[in-house]
Structure 1
Amino acid sequence: MSDHRGPVHVATLSPGVAHVTWGSEAVTEGWADAVATVRAGVEEALATHARVEARVRADDALGQRVATWSGMRREGVLRGLPLPEGPVDHVLYARLATDAPTDQPEGFRALLNSFLPRKRAIGQMLVRDAAGRVLLCQLTYKRDWDLPGGVVEVNESPQVATSREVLEELALDIPAGRLLLTDWLPPWSGWDDAVTLVFDGGVHDADALVSRVVRQEKEIRGLAFCTPAEVAERCADFTARRVGAALANVAGDGPAYTESGR
């Protein structure tokens, strides 16, 4: 079922779900007028549907602005949708009948939250022994060694995440201490950019600590306390630089921020 409302076209995709599109005539008077027109179409469609969707080409910046400011939240990217000219990525927007109105603070914050940039965060722990060696993990999914830690979950404290990852992967209950280093990693080999936060794990007796380790074998192949020379040998160059920068800041006089360890 479909319905034309001037330049806005609404079609029912499935029970309770509508798809809204608009033509170039919707923006002939400018994007602000287009927003008002599309918003009216969305609100009218929500009177008979629980969900209204729009798919906007990823290269259509104006269309994305119209979709956003008409009150629809960005939900993700639909990759390679087939079109006559070939596959084209589209951004999926949607509004639910139960969403808070965008003229209310909660609704406006949720709208902004749907499209503002998000950055991956990784929490790592710098664990040392009395000789100044650093605890490294040999990982199953890459050849390089790395500091213990892992990806911060959505809405999780990076400090809490770091201790959680060390507990899950090594069965070591070590509180993450002071933040030693913030290291930005640029996009690389299919990964988006990320921020790595290195927390102080303190100084420990190496033999006693290793004796308590229970490895999560799916991710951790081995571990060892390593000298700076062994860190340089076993780690990727940017990881070795990060470890060196974090070590330099243990006393508080090293860099607090680096990019790829520099």
Structure 2
Amino acid sequence: MTDPISVTVVAPGVVRLAWTPDHTIDEVRREVASALLTHPRVEVLVAPEDQSAQRTATWSGMHREGVRRGVEADGRSGDRIVYARLATDQPVGEPGGFRALLNSFLPRKRAISQMLIRDESDRVLLCQLTYKSDWDLPGGVVEVGESPAVAVRREVEEELSLDLPAGPLLLTDWLPPWGGWDDALCLVFDGGVLPADALARVVRQEREIAAVRFCTVEEVRARAADFTARRVEAALANLGGGPAYTESGR
């Protein structure tokens, strides 16, 4: 006979379930529904390598919320994936509830928006960043729910006090995992041509930007990381040519 599913109160209004591989998805789903009658939140901690428990948690209607690192669970210390369902969550049988469930565990990709701004001599505007040694194009991370085109205009205004609408998309560059970062997509938009004296209008966000200057391609190669230099050259090569795709600038 299979042991009952463990139900433990871990905080006011919060219960945590634990089950064995012998328990079916239907059994876990019923236990989740029963617990939500008296508690607003039901959760479970699942080991990252336990694919079966992850599937059971998902198809019993529990949303993946993230990873808690270095916790004690099941008599062992390690990382645990947190799944939970709230009494206020939409029923999984409704379209919105099912989409929210899928959205909680499907992969999410970080996006970075940058702007290629040139002067009348085809030099490229680069920023020396305070938090790393190499130079880069102006721009930054796209916020949740924000369009990349809006993001790059916002970042350029915040960093340099230049209000430049994003022009055509020149390049989509995939960045592989590197130095503790997950992979990301970098979108480079055309910022058009500015007069050389436009730098006089720049007001640097000193917390992030140490210096700004227009650079030749050779200067870009000398000042920027190799993958950034490749990205700049790929974007320049695609001016007027429609969106292109590269991986780490190649």
Structure 1 residue aligned with 2:100 = 110
Normalization by structure 2: what TM-score?
A: 0.96
CA deviation digits over 1:187-221, x for unaligned, max 9? 001000000000000011021x1111110000000
Cα RMSD over matched residues?
1.5
Residue 36 of structure 1: how far off its partner (Å): 0.8
Q: Does 1:250 align with 2:239?
A: yes
**Out of 231, 238, 247, which is 1:259 matched to?**
247
Matches of 1:57 and 1:46, distance apart in 2: 23
Judging changes above 3 Å, is the alpha-carbon distance between structure 1 residues 106 and 153 closer, same or farther for their aligned structure 2 residues? same
Equivalent pair of 2:21/2:52 in contact (CA under 8 Å): no
- Does 2:224 match 1:195? no
| Structure 1 consecutive aligned stretches of length 4 or more whose deviation exceeds 4 Å | 83-86
- Determine if the alignment matches structure 1 residue 217 to structure 2 residue 206: yes
Aligned-partner Cα distance in 2 for 1:153–1:22: 37
Aligned to 1:98: 88
Measured after TM superposition, the shift of residue 81 of structure 1 is 1.6
Q: Is the 8 A contact 1:144 1:235 kept in 2?
A: yes
Pairing 1:227–2:224 present? no
Structure 1 unmatched ranges of 5 or more: 27-33
C-alpha distance in structure 1 between counterparts of 2:76 and 2:178, whole Å: 27
The count of corresponding residues between Structure 1 and Structure 2 is: 249
User: In the TM superposition, what whole-angstrom CA distance separates every residue of 1:8-37 from its partner, at most 9, and x where no partner exists?
Assistant: 1211112211111112321xxxxxxx1111
* Identical counterparts, % of pairs: 64
What are the ranges of 5 or more consecutive residues in structure 2 without an aligned counterpart? none
Shift of 1:83: 5.6
Q: Alpha carbons of 1:107 and 1:98: their partners in 2 closer, same or farther (altered >3 Å)?
A: same
TM-score under structure 1 normalisation? 0.92
Task: Map residues 154-169 of structure 1 onto 2, 5 A cutoff.
Answer: 154-169=144-159
SS of equivalent to 1:25: coil
In the alignment, the residues of structure 1 paired with residue 28 and residue 155 of structure 2 have an alpha-carbon distance, to the nearest angstrom, of: 46
Q: Which residue of 1 aligns with 2:48?
A: 58
